[in-house]
Amino acid sequence: MRRFVVWPSELDAKLSRKYGREVSKNLAVESPKLNEIIEATETLGMKVVEVEWDKLNPRLSGLDEALRTRGMLIIESKYGKSKSLRLIAQKVREFRKSRRRKK
């Protein structure tokens, strides 16, 4: 199992790759919440090792407060980081879509 850090900003559609977005724009999620990422990670069978709710990604230190998303996860996955991030982003999108249908 591979272990790596996941920042919500790596999945955020509002950010450019320069500021840390790792997934493609069409997969990225608008303002991902740490709870959504944790839920998606666990649903995909990945293990959440550690959660830091107040950490700020160092790449975001120069950005406006509105664009900063706080939090950090350390997860274990059988996939590499980029594939894991793509899977998590897809799962968060599915969750949001299903919640919109229920309303």
Contact 46/77 with Cβ under 8 angstroms?
A: yes
The CATH number of 2-102 is: 3.30.56.30
* CA 51 – CA 62 distance, rounded (Å): 23
- Determine the pLDDT at residue 59: 79
DSSP 80: -
Using one digit for the tens of pLDDT, what is the confidence trace for 5-18? 999 999 999 988 98
Residue spans of the domains in the chain: they are: 2-102
Q: Where are the alpha helices (DSSP H) in the chain?
A: 34-43, 81-102
**What element of type H or E holds 72?**
strand 70-77
Contacts of 71 (CB under 8 A, 6+ apart): 7, 8, 34, 51, 52, 53, 54, 55
Using one digit for the tens of pLDDT, what is the confidence trace for 22-55? 999 999 999 999 999 999 999 999 999 999 999 9
